[in-house]
Structure 1
Amino acid sequence: NDNRKSIAFPAIGCGQYGCSISLVAKTVIEEACRLRTLYPIAITFIIQPDRTDIYDEFQKQIDLLETSEPSQSLEQPLESPIISVSIGNGIIVVEKGNITTQKVDVIIGSSSSIVLTQTIIEAAGDEVKTTYETESKRNPNSILISTPPGQLSCRRIFFLKWKPDADDSILRQSIIDFIWNVIQNIISCNYTSVAFPAIGCGGYGCSVDIVVKTMVREIKNQLKTRNLSLTVKFVIQPEQQNIYDEFCKQVLASKKELVEKSVEDQLPTTWEKSTGNQLRFV
């Protein structure tokens, strides 16, 4: 009646009321889907960062609805939500999309991935292709190749060397080094936003759990320790639902860990925890 175009709901009934989370999520999602066929309105469900169980159930019901009713033509198809979490002065965002269409300061590519490199260069155009090929020949051992944006909506494109490894410890360290190099160059250029693809989650056969967890934790660590005012976007290909879910899980988990840690950090230095789950003043 008020000609509003969007609305945000909390997860009503999923807290202290003791209602079935599955039943609430199923009912709410189905009704929201029905109403969207009648009215052009964007519906968002906001879940508390520490309630990953509720988020997972809402996501499950959306997925079930899409698979059980593929023949229904909705005016606005259901899409995976964009997850955004604040870490200090920075923000971590997870969304499905195309890395080449991101409107950020820097788009990240991996020169070790032929498919990703070709995708970015083809979208960016001849200027980027020429610069990339010239720099690759001039500095074959360079860890990072920086090119102009070409036709992309960014300020620079960073192509970094990265090689996966079957050894989990080496794999983790290689990802940490990858993130560190990106952040160092972002700081030196005074950039405030960056978009990462899900490196290592394609044809390399790496553990998605290890790759995603390491990437998210290292980004969180860089944002906190350097006190960066930086927006970091993880852009996942639309068909990679399992990878998107894992990034969401780790980002939301990192928020929960941050909240718990911040509470402990505020305690006086003369306080210590006892085994009885109480605080003792010394």
Structure 2
Amino acid sequence: MRFGALLEPPAERPQDVVGLAELMEELGYDVVTLSDHPYWPERLDTLALLSAIVARTTRITVLPNLLNLPLRPPAVVARTAATLDILSGGRFELGLGTGAQQMWDAVVAEGGPRRTAGQSIEALEEAVHVIRALWTSKTDVEFQGEHYRLDGAKPGPAPLHEMGIWFGAYQPRLLRLTGTLGDGWIPSSPFFPPEALPAANQIIDEAALAAGRSPEDVRRGYNIEGTFGTGTGFLQGPPAVWAEQLAEVTLNHRIDTYFLYRAESAEVLRRFAAEVAPAVRDLVAQG
């Protein structure tokens, strides 16, 4: 099991996020992630900020959660991700998103394409082929798709390790693509509660098997949002309740990586690391 947090990158506090990432490494977290909304000027650039985090940490895995593909050409993503992996000593993983449908006006305003939901999934599939080819090919790369084309692009640099590509997926078509091509899946609990996980897992598993893969080839992540308090519902109680609920999700739905959603408080990061993560590991080990 792995535990991490999805940090927010506010432009007015550029050092806060880096400091929280350093704290996470000190507290024993496994992964630090950042969301990506390049059309919002109140946010720092995700990849530039991740490079600063890579430079200030030595152990923790770094992951965008998830890169906005319509505003990031896949050839550039491939080379940037490989560079960060090399600089970090093999600690970078790549998360890709199709772009939220409600944000297309902002994407177009930045010079990006306007795509339907179906087109955005097609573009994501093409992008994965482009990225992996540039990472692994021994010859110049040719690719002719509907959304992306390479005409003899030079491959490289190669990542230092076999880098995983994670998807954010909710609808059946993108869940099937996750099972067919993805190395990891990251839904978010505010939009995708635990009761939605079984059906989604089944779609991913069936797609993986149809593609000649094992369902275990796809790691299962979860952005989780909650409050330490006395409320009821999912992650709305004291740390012991969080631990019981997350262990149940892991045992029943095979989630192996948790990210605290929009974590902005050092106090919350400390409490989760001390009182929740180890308890979840213990409960899962007990079955």
Query: TM-score with structure 1 length normalisation?
Result: 0.30
Look at both structures and tell me which one has the larger radius of gyration over its CA atoms. 1
Query: TM-score with structure 2 length normalisation?
Result: 0.30
User: Higher relative CO (CA 8 A, sep ≥ 6), structure 1 or 2?
Assistant: 1
